[in-house]
Structure 1
Amino acid sequence: MPAPTDAFKAMADPARREILRLLRDGEMTAGQLAEHFDMTRPTMSHHFAVLADADLITRRREGQTIWYGLNTTVLQDVVAWMMDLTEPQTKRRKA
């Protein structure tokens, strides 16, 4: 599993954050996602690869079509890790 820092690096780009936001409501094809951006196909593919490498999205192939979805498990892990960072140290030592 990628480290939380991989997820943060992947989410550092506004286009990738927008891809994640678009996937909140369910799976979308690469073409459907690309319609929301003024980017070349190779650039979109790069963004998809970065998000997939960070395990933030899932992808599945259906014939010639690639469907992308949110990997909610990893997103929950990242949020939990962030929450742990904000917890006072005294609380963590007692646990």
Structure 2
Amino acid sequence: MNNLFKALSHPVRRRIIAMLRQGPMGSGEIAAAFDMSWPTITGHLNALKDSELVSTEKHGQSVRYRLEISAVEEAMAFLMDLTGTGSRTPEDDK
């Protein structure tokens, strides 16, 4: 969970996640949306992959990134429980 929130802490990574909500994208497509060096983008993509927010598929020499909804759902459930807006009841803590 720590890696997940660390990955979400950077605005570029949040923008990549927003882009991936539209569907899988190639690394080149993602990189083209930013005015950054390739190694910098690769670092952000690796952080998202390490946190399991995205998964990858290799197609020849290109890599496609896909948003992993289960990791997003886990983070949302944690935040909802933390704020008291989740489905937990006081009886769940007994």
State TM-score, norm by structure 2: 0.90
Q: Distance in 2 between matches of 1:24 and 1:53?
A: 18
Residue 60 of structure 1 aligns to a residue whose secondary structure is strand
Match of 1:65 in 2: 62
The one of 38, 43, 46 equivalent to 1:41 is: 38
Measured in 1, the distance between the counterparts of 2:40 and 2:65 equals 16
* Deviation (angstroms), 1:43: 0.5
- Report the Cα distance in structure 1 between the residues aligned to 2:73 and 2:4, rounded to whole angstroms: 11
TM-score (norm 1): 0.89
Aligned residue identity for 2:73:
Q
- Alignment-mate amino acid for residue 73 of structure 1: S
Gaps of 5+ in 1: none
State the SS of the aligned residue for 1:25. coil
Give, in whole Å, the separation in 2 of the partners of 1:74 and 1:93: 25
1:15 aligns with 2:12: yes
RMSD across aligned positions (CA): 1.3
Determine which of 27, 31, 35 is the counterpart of 2:28.
31
Corresponding letter in the other structure for 2:24: E
Alpha-carbon shift at residue 94 of structure 1 (Å): 1.5
Q: Percent identity?
A: 34
* Residue ranges of structure 2 left out of the alignment (5+ in a row): none
State the 4+ residue runs in structure 1 displaced beyond 4 angstroms: none
Quote how far apart the aligned CAs of 1:92 are. 4.0
The DSSP-based 3-state class of the residue aligned with 2:21 is helix
Secondary structure of the residue aligned to 1:69 is strand
C-alpha distance in 1 between matches for 2:20 and 2:74? 18
Q: 2: CA distance between counterparts of 1:18 and 1:93?
A: 36
